[in-house]
Amino acid sequence: MNAQNNFAKNSLIFSPSGVRGIVGEGLGPEEALRLSLCFGSMIPPGTVVLGRDTRPSGEMIQRLAAAGLMSTGHDVSILGIAPSPAIAFAVKKMGAVGGIIVSASHNPPSWNALKFLGPGGIALNEAQISELRNLYVLDSFKEVPWTSLGKAHDLSLLDDYRKALISLVDVEAIRKARLFAVIDAGNGAGSLVTPKALEDSGCQVFPLNVEIDGRFRRPIEPTRESLSDLAKKVVSLGADIGFAHDCDADRLVCINEKGEVLGEDLTLALIVDQILSKRKGGIVVTNVASSMVFDDVAESHGAKVLRTRVGEAYVVEKMIETGAIVGGEGSCGGVIIPDHLYTRDGILAALKIVEALALRGRTASQVFASFPRYYMARGKVPCSSGEAREVIEALKIGHSDEKLDLTDGIKIIGEKEWVLVRPSGTEPILRVMAEAEGPRRAEELCKDLLNEVLEILSRKLGKLGPLPFFSANS
């Protein structure tokens, strides 16, 4: 194996969120082909569903993934450009043995990833990803003879997916409410589904950034800073609600009728509240980085919150284990409803939000204001995986006399406040985030831990490095 191939293997990031890399600097044709060969060698015979988001590199990776799967004897159903949850839906509906989603979700356009799904459209868990990585590192895969090669065919299931989504909400109530929604699909795969799904459910819809041509009119990740045009459009049109997706539509950000960008935690909290209002009790699963508002919502309905490591696969694993009725990750606003799919769905989240507004008969600002208010602050520091482990071990020692949650990194828990330091599963960075009842306190907690992380890197590891990134979000 030459040095270039070794570099590519080492620069890929393996996690249940997928195998990610920068296209041309670690993730290229050979990597895409070999990853799909290894995946095809892991799974039983049968059909595999393949789809992608709208990144320019997606078609190249999709074609190579299809070739790898056919080389291991699997037939491939190619959905093409489709939201990630729609690809999972296709795996479940067709009874496929697996699926590959070609998408780096909220990462910049230079990134891409292959996210691997098992039966039912459920993402591979940590042990399965570890098995895939071992096969990849060892170049261990099984190709079939030419007489047993798989075949590829195009698949069209987006209409079925959209109809399945609409069946999960109260269309009559939404139509009576005559809600007006602006949807910024970010020139991503949600452009093909969300506007029509909202229309079919009874909303008046103004679509924004729905052109699919490989160009992104705003940054892929829907943040407060990148959604100023959407916020202005919601206000100028007198809309009731605004929605924004990332590139594969597993995320959702909401904007109220005043043009205020709402935290993803609140978006998911409203959906959880809506579901629990009809099904009292039960279990809600989210991750350790999600807001305390979920505990408040669950308590009001006699439900229990369980927290996992950050990552959809960990949330889903716990949901299946405990029979949870709803789950999701506060950082992205996408909801996981077992009656639909064991995967995050930003389009279903949008439909559930308009359903909640319709049934409650109040404005978005009034509905969201009814929840307890918490504030978050976030930061990140460039850091290798080895350095991240050293930092977290040092923090465990330094904060051993405080209440700690070691589910994912280290979470220091106070009275109605917490701060979390954890390695990212998708980028070579340490993430620091804090939550408190006031914005200044959240910023203070986050900045203090950022400084502590930098001090550890400098003192223990002899690394000064670039300054951390910090942002505050209400």
Could you give the residue numbers annotated as active site?
Answer: 105
Q: With beta carbons less than 8 A apart as the criterion, state whether 387 and 461 touch.
A: yes
CB count within 10 Å of CB 120 equals 17
Q: Which whole-number Å values give the CA distances from 40 to 76, 87, 286, in the listed order?
A: 11, 17, 31
- Rg for the chain, CA atoms, rounded: 22
Q: Can you tell me which residue has the tokens 């799919």?
A: 341
Beta-strand runs (E) in 277-402:
283-287, 304-308, 326-328, 335-336, 375-382
CA dist., res. 129 & res. 123, Å (int) = 9
Q: How far is CA 339 from CA 65, 317, 351, 458, 469, in A?
A: 30, 15, 15, 49, 39
DSSP class of residue 59? H
Please state, as a whole number, how many other Cβ atoms lie within 10 Å of the Cβ of residue 430. 26
- CA distance linking residue 104 with residue 123, whole number of Å: 14
Sheet holding 152-154, edge to edge: 13-15, 18-22, 111-117, 98-102, 47-52, 75-81, 152-154
Distances (CA, A) of 168 to 118, 262, 319, 345: 24, 24, 19, 12
Q: Which amino acid is at 15?
A: S
